[in-house]
C-alpha cells in the first residue's frame, strides 16, 4: 500500500494545479492526503490530516451515504457517480460539495479512493433563495394554502396593503380590518417582528423565523414559520405557516428520543449499530462494559472484527443476516480490550434506508461465557461416554494427567491383551504396551499435549501383553470432567497398511535408483557419442568437398548416406543432451532483444530447399519487425522444429502459413499446414518425451516418419522457460493442424 508521500508524488500535478478540491482517503474513510485548496475550504492544517476521517466531517445520513458509495467502488472497481454532501468545516460552518470517487489500485487491488469535488455552496444558497422566492409568489398569487401578506414601506414604517385567501381563513376574516395599518402599531409589543421587517428590507435578503404568536381574536398560542421575502426596496412579502402541530410532534419526538436513548443507555445488554462492512456507528455503555472498555470511551469508527476471536467468521454471519434479515441467538467467540476470550450471543437485524436497501446492522448481545462453557463441558462429557461405551470401532483409552489409565473399552482390551482390571490405575508406560524404540517420543508428546500443544494423528509401534509387535494410528483429545483434565486416546490397528508401506517404500527406492541410473546413462552416452559424431559428420562433409568430383555415383551416395545419418544422429544426441539438462535443472536461457520477424525469415530461407523439394507453398504473414527479449538460439530451435514438422506432414502441393501478431501483452506465432492433421488420441502424445506419432498406410507415403519424438517435448520446455505457452489445434485426420506459440513481451 502507498504511504502519504507516495500518493502525493504520484498525483503531484493534480494536487498542485487542479482548481477542484482533491483528496485521498482509505477504504475506512481515513484521510491520506488533501490538496491545499481542500484544506483551506475545510479550515484544517496539513498536520491534522492523519487524524481526519469521514466521521469528523459528515453527519449520520451523509456518513452512511459515503460508506455505501465506498462499498460500491470496492465492489465494481469503477469510478462512482457524482454525489452531493453536506460537509462540516473545522469552524462548525457547512459546505456543500459535489464529488465523485476514483479507485486507486496497486497490484490489481483497491487500496484507496481519490476524491474530486466542486464547492457548490453558493449555488445551493442561490437555489434555496430562488426556490423560496418562487414559492412565496405562487402561494400569494395562486391561492396558496399558506397565509401571505404584502407590506409596503411608507415614511420609514411598514403598512399592510394586501393578503391572500389563506390569511382570511386563518384570521376568520379579521385581517381585512388591518389593511392600511402600520406595523409599528400592530406589533408594538413584538419588537422581534418589527426588527425582522427592517432587517429584510435593509439587508435585502430572505429571512426565516420560527415564533410563537397569539391572535387578538384567539385565546390559543400558535407556532408559525415566518418567511420574510424581499421583493424590492419598498415591498416585502411575509408568509406565515402554522406549524403548531409539527412543533408538538417534534416535542413528542424529542421526548420519545430521550426516552429511547435513556432506555438504550440503561440496558444491561450491549447495544450496537454498525455498517455492513463492520464500522461501528453507535453503541451503549453496556457494550463497553461487556468488552472491558471505559464507559466514556467511544468505539465509533472502529472495525467490529477487532472484537471477534475469529474475524473471518463474520463473512458467514453477514451471509446469514442478508439472507434472513436477522440473526437470532448467534454464538460469537469474542475478545475484550484486554484480550480476554469470552462468548457472546447476538440478536440483530438489518437497518434499511428509505428505499428498503440494507446499509447496516442493529442489535444487542449478552455475555454467555459461563453458560457456554458449562454446556461445552456437558457436551464433552456426553461425548466421552458415547465414545467409550457405544461400541466404537476404535480402541479407546482414557488417561489422566499423571499418565494413569482411568478407563478403556473392550476393543482396547482385545488390542493390547490387558483386561480393564489389569490396566486400571496403572501408568501406561508401566504396561509395556509401547515399543522401547518409541517410548521416549511418546512420553515427550504426552507432556506437551497435556500443556495444550496440538497433536495430529501419528503412527506408533506398540506391543501386546504377549510381546506381539503391531502398528497403530493414534489420535488424542483433551477432556474436562469436573474441572479435571483427561487425555482420550483412540488407536486404530494399521499393521497390514504399515507392512504394505514398507514394501512400497522399498520399491520406490529401487525405482528412484533406476531413474537416476537412466539419467546418468543418457547424459554419459550422449556426451560420449557427440565427439565421434563430429568426426563422422565433419569427415563426410570434408570428403565431399575435397574429393566429391573424383567419386563415382555409388561412392557419392554412400558418403551422402553417412553424412545424413551422422547429422540425424547428431540431432538425436543434441536432443538427448537437452533432455539431460532439463532433468538436472541445467537448462538455462540467454535472453537478449531480438527481431522475431527476422528470425522467422532467416529460418524460412534455410529450409527453402526442403520446401521446394516437396513442392509446398510457404506463406509468411509477419510484420516487418517485431522486437522481443528471447534466447535467440532456443527460439530458433522451436521454430525450426515446428516448421520442419509441418513440412514433413504436408503432402505435395500443400500450403503452410506462418503468422506473427501482437496479442495484448504477448507475441503470438502460429504455423498452420494442410497436412495429415492430428487425431484426438494423438493429441495426448504431443509434447511428451519420445511421443513420436507413427502413421503408416496408403496415401501417407509423403510423410517423413524419421525422428526421435523429442522435438516437441524440448520445444515445450523452451517455451515454458520463457514463461510462454505452446499448444496444438486440429480438426482431425487429413484436416491439417496449427501449432501456436505465445511469448510474453517484457
pLDDT at 582: 58
Residue 258 lies in a domain: no
Mean pLDDT of 735-739: 92
Percent of the residues in the chain that have a pLDDT greater than 90, as a whole number: 23
Looking at the structure, tell me whether residues 420 and 358 fall in a common domain: no
pLDDT in tens, 344-356: 999 999 999 888 8
Residue 701's pLDDT band (boundaries 50, 70, 90)?
very low
Q: Which of 95, 119, 143 is the last residue of a domain?
A: 119
pLDDT at 217: 63
pLDDT at 282: 87
For residue 505, the domain's CATH number is 1.10.287.130
- Interior CA angle at 497 toward 492 and 501, to 5°? 135
pTM: 0.32
Looking at the structure, tell me whether residues 449 and 509 fall in a common domain: no
Helix, strand, or coil (residue 400) = strand
Residue 255 lies in a domain: no
pLDDT in tens, 558-605: 766 666 655 555 555 565 556 655 555 656 778 889 999 999 999 888
User: Any idea which of 42-56, 158-172, 380-394, 517-531 has the lowest mean pLDDT?
Assistant: 517-531
Q: Which of 64, 91, 119 is the last residue of a domain?
A: 119
Looking at the structure, tell me whether residues 363 and 396 fall in a common domain: no
Looking at the structure, tell me whether residues 338 and 452 fall in a common domain: no
Residue 229 lies in a domain: yes
pLDDT at 533: 54
Looking at the structure, tell me whether residues 277 and 240 fall in a common domain: no
Q: Which of 119, 139, 168 is the last residue of a domain?
A: 119
Looking at the structure, tell me whether residues 479 and 505 fall in a common domain: no
Better pLDDT: 396 or 511: 396
For residue 608, the domain's CATH number is 3.30.565.10
pLDDT in tens, 15-48: 777 888 999 888 888 888 888 888 888 999 988 8
pLDDT in tens, 286-338: 888 889 999 888 888 899 999 999 999 999 999 999 999 999 999 999 999 99
pLDDT at 473: 85
**Separation between Cα atoms, residue 394 and residue 609, nearest integer Å:** 76
pLDDT in tens, 679-688: 888 887 887 7
| pLDDT at residue 385 greater than cutoff 80 | no
Closest to 742 in 3D by CA, of 666, 640, 642, 671: 666
Residue 692 lies in a domain: yes
Looking at the structure, tell me whether residues 340 and 440 fall in a common domain: no
pLDDT at 549: 66
For residue 313, the domain's CATH number is 3.30.450.20
Cell match 398560542: residue?
Answer: 221
pLDDT in tens, 49-98: 888 888 889 898 998 898 899 899 989 989 999 999 999 999 989 999 99
**Separation between Cα atoms, residue 516 and residue 625, nearest integer Å:** 45
Domain count, the chain: 6
Looking at the structure, tell me whether residues 112 and 199 fall in a common domain: no
The answer to whether the Cα torsion of 56, 57, 61, 67 is positive or negative is: negative
Residue 172 lies in a domain: yes
Q: Which domain holds residue 695?
A: 592-744
Residue 249's pLDDT band (boundaries 50, 70, 90)?
confident
Residue 252 lies in a domain: no
**Separation between Cα atoms, residue 79 and residue 97, nearest integer Å:** 17
Q: What is the dihedral of CA 47, 53, 55, 59, to 10 degrees?
A: 90
**Separation between Cα atoms, residue 434 and residue 416, nearest integer Å:** 10
pLDDT at 395: 83
pLDDT in tens, 706-731: 555 677 887 888 888 889 999 999 98
32: which residues sit within 8 A by CB, 6+ positions away?
Answer: 4, 7, 24, 25, 26, 49, 112
Looking at the structure, tell me whether residues 577 and 661 fall in a common domain: no
pLDDT at 319: 92
Mean pLDDT of 440-467: 83
Residue 257 lies in a domain: no
Looking at the structure, tell me whether residues 272 and 360 fall in a common domain: yes
| pLDDT at residue 259 greater than cutoff 80 | no
Looking at the structure, tell me whether residues 641 and 729 fall in a common domain: yes
Rg of the Cα trace of the chain?
A: 45
pLDDT at 595: 94
Looking at the structure, tell me whether residues 644 and 717 fall in a common domain: yes
DSSP string, 19-81: SSEEEEEETTSBEEEE-HHHHHHHT--GGGGGG-BHHHH--HHHHHHHHHHHHHHHHH-SPPP
pLDDT in tens, 406-429: 888 888 888 888 888 888 888 888
Mean pLDDT of the chain: 82
Amino acid at each position: 500500500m502507498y504511504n502519504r508521500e507516495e500518493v502525493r508524488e504520484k498525483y503531484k500535478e493534480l494536487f498542485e494545479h487542479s482548481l477542484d478540491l482533491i483528496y485521498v482517503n482509505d477504504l475506512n474513510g481515513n484521510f491520506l492526503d488533501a490538496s491545499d485548496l481542500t484544506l483551506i475550504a475545510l479550515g484544517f492544517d496539513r498536520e491534522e490530516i492523519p487524524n481526519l476521517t469521514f466521521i469528523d466531517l459528515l453527519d449520520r445520513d451523509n456518513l452512511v451515504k459515503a460508506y455505501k458509495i465506498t462499498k460500491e467502488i470496492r465492489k465494481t472497481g469503477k469510478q462512482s457517480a457524482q454525489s452531493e454532501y453536506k460537509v462540516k468545516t473545522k469552524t462548525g460552518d457547512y459546505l456543500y460539495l459535489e464529488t465523485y470517487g476514483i479507485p486507486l489500485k496497486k497490484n490489481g487491488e483497491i487500496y484507496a479512493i481519490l476524491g474530486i469535488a466542486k464547492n457548490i455552496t453558493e449555488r445551493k444558497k442561490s437555489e434555496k433563495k430562488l426556490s423560496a422566492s418562487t414559492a412565496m409568489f405562487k402561494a400569494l398569487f395562486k391561492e396558496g394554502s399558506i397565509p401571505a401578506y404584502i407590506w409596503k414601506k411608507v415614511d420609514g414604517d411598514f403598512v399592510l396593503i394586501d393578503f391572500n385567501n389563506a390569511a382570511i381563513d386563518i384570521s376568520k376574516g379579521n385581517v381585512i380590518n388591518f389593511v392600511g395599518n402600520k406595523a409599528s402599531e400592530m406589533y408594538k409589543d413584538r419588537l422581534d417582528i418589527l426588527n425582522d421587517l427592517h432587517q429584510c428590507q435593509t439587508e435585502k435578503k430572505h429571512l426565516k423565523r420560527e415564533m410563537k404568536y397569539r391572535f387578538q381574536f384567539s385565546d390559543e398560542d400558535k407556532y408559525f414559520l415566518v418567511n420574510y421575502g424581499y421583493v424590492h426596496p419598498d415591498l416585502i412579502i411575509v408568509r406565515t405557516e402554522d406549524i403548531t402541530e409539527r412543533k408538538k410532534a417534534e416535542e413528542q419526538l424529542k421526548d420519545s428520543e430521550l426516552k429511547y436513548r435513556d432506555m438504550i443507555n440503561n440496558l444491561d445488554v450491549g447495544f450496537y449499530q454498525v455498517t455492513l462492512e463492520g464500522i461501528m456507528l453507535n453503541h451503549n455503555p453496556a457494550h463497553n462494559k461487556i468488552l472491558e472498555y471505559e464507559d466514556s470511551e467511544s468505539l465509533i469508527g472502529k472495525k467490529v472484527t477487532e472484537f471477534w476471536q475469529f474475524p473471518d467468521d463474520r463473512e458467514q454471519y453477514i451471509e446469514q443476516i442478508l439472507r434472513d434479515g436477522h440473526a437470532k441467538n448467534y454464538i460469537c467467540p469474542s475478545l475484550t480490550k484486554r484480550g480476554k476470550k469470552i462468548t457472546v450471543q447476538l440478536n440483530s437485524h438489518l437497518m434499511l434506508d428509505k428505499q428498503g436497501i440494507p446499509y447496516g446492522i442493529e442489535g444487542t448481545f449478552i455475555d454467555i461465557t459461563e453458560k457456554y462453557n458449562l454446556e461445552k463441558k456437558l457436551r464433552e462429557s456426553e461425548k466421552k461416554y458415547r465414545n467409550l461405551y457405544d461400541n466404537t470401532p476404535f480402541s479407546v483409552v482414557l488417561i489422566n494427567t499423571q499418565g494413569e489409565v482411568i478407563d478403556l473399552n473392550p476393543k482396547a482390551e482385545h488390542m493390547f491383551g490387558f483386561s480393564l482390571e489389569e490396566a486400571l490405575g496403572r501408568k501406561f508406560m508401566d504396561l509395556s504396551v509401547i515399543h522401547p524404540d518409541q517410548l521416549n517420543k511418546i512420553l515427550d508428546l504426552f507432556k506437551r499435549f497435556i500443556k495444550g500443544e496440538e497433536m495430529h494423528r501419528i503412527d506408533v509401534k506398540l506391543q501386546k501383553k504377549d510381546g506381539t509387535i503391531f502398528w497403530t494410528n493414534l489420535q488424542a483429545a483433551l477432556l474436562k470432567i469436573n474441572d479435571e483434565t483427561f487425555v482420550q486416546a483412540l488407536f486404530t490397528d494399521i499393521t497390514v497398511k504399515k507392512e504394505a508401506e514398507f514394501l512400497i517404500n522399498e520399491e520406490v527406492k529401487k525405482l528412484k535408483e533406476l531413474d537416476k541410473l537412466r539419467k546418468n546413462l543418457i547424459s554419459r552416452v550422449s556426451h560420449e557419442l557427440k565427439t565421434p559424431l563430429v568426426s563422422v559428420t565433419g569427415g563426410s562433409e570434408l570428403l565431399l568437398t575435397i574429393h566429391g568430383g573424383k567419386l563415382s555415383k555409388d561412392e557419392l551416395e554412400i558418403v551422402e548416406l553417412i553424412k545424413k545419418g551422422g547429422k540425424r544422429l547428431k540431432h538425436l544426441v543434441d536432443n538427448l543432451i537437452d533432455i539431460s539438462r532439463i532433468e538436472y535443472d541445467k537448462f538455462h536461457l540467454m535472453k537478449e532483444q531480438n527481431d522475431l520477424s527476422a528470425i522467422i525469415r532467416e529460418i524460412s530461407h534455410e529450409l527453402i530447399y526442403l520446401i521446394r523439394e516437396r513442392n509446398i507453398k510457404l506463406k509468411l504473414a509477419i510484420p516487418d519487425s517485431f522486437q522481443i527479449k528471447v534466447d535467440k538460439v532456443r527460439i530458433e530451435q522451436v521454430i525450426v522444429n515446428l516448421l520442419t514438422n509441418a513440412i514433413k506432414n504436408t503432402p505435395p502441393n500443400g500450403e503452410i502459413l506462418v503468422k506473427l501478431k501482437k496479442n495484448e501483452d504477448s507475441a503470438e506465432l502460429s504455423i498452420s499446414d494442410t497436412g495429415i492433421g492430428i487425431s484426438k488420441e494423438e493429441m495426448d502424445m504431443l509434447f511428451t518425451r519420445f511421443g513420436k506419432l507413427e502413421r503408416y498406410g496408403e496415401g501417407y507415403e509423403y510423410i517423413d516418419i524419421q525422428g526421435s519424438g523429442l522435438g516437441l517435448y524440448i520445444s515445450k520446455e523452451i517455451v515454458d522457460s520463457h514463461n510462454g505457452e505452446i499448444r496444438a489445434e486440429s480438426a482431425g485426420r487429413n484436416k491439417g493442424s496449427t501449432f501456436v506459440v505465445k511469448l510474453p513481451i517484457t
